[in-house]
């Protein structure tokens, strides 16, 4: 049983930098933003930092929400229309080793895309879906830095896999550089 004194933290360990717009004409055409979004849960009990809690690995999920940044920077970011954000926006926890060999509880979003050009951030929420509780509380959140989605004419090119993505790929995580989604 985990004590109520446990504090949760969600960290962005790899964030998107750019992407090519997917557009609205073809729903099967999803252009993956790069690099892939990866977050990590860390726990604290008093002053002790805990990087893996095996009993929590199956009950934690991470939800990603797209925030659209207005060209008028005085306005706060607005949650983007759901139709503008593509891919699996909720992911389960994976216990993996990072580049230093340390185990951690990671949340990997391998297929996110955005339909319209513009400047965006992604806000992620760590949610505990433990059985037996009536509501699913948000335990922590984090936000990426600003990234840009380009039109086809201005897109500078796809970014390849990062060393962290390659490290996770060697542990069985599948990453897509581009993806055609078939909707049933």
In sequence order, the β-bridge partners of residue 141 are 125
> Which pLDDT does position 161 carry in this prediction?
86
Distances (CA, A) of 173 to 94, 111, 135, 169: 9, 12, 30, 5
Contact between residue 88 and residue 100 where contact means Cβ atoms under 8 Å apart: no
Question: How is residue 64 written in tokens?
Answer: 């990603």
Of 112, 111, 126, 110, nearest to 169 by C-alpha is 110
> Which pLDDT does position 17 carry in this prediction?
95
Contact between residue 121 and residue 144 where contact means Cβ atoms under 8 Å apart: yes
Phi, psi of 165 (to 5 degrees): -60, -40
pLDDT values of the chain reduced to their tens digit, one per residue, 184 residues = 444 688 999 999 999 999 999 888 777 778 889 999 999 999 999 889 998 888 889 999 999 999 998 776 666 778 877 789 999 999 999 999 999 999 999 999 999 999 999 999 999 999 998 866 677 889 999 999 999 999 999 999 888 889 999 999 999 888 875 544 333 3
């Amino acid at each position: 049983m985990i004590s109520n004194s446990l504090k949760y933290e969600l960290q962005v360990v790899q964030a998107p930098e750019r992407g090519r717009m997917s557009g609205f004409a073809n729903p099967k055409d999803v252009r993956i933003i790069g690099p892939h979004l990866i977050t990590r849960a860390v726990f604290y009990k008093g002053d002790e930092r805990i990087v893996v809690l095996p009993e929590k690995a199956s009950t934690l999920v991470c939800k990603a929400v797209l925030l659209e940044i207005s060209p008028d920077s005085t306005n706060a970011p607005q949650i983007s229309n759901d139709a503008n954000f593509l891919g699996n926006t909720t992911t389960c926890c994976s216990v993996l080793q990072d580049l230093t060999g340390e185990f951690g509880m990671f949340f990997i979003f391998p297929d996110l895309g955005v339909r319209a050009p513009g400047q965006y951030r992604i806000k992620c929420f760590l949610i505990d879906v433990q059985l037996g509780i009536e509501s699913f509380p948000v335990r922590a959140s984090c936000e990426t830095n600003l990234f840009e989605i380009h039109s086809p004419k201005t897109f500078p090119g796809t970014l390849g896999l990062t060393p962290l993505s390659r490290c996770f790929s060697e542990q069985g995580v599948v990453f897509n550089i581009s993806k055609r989604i078939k909707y049933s």
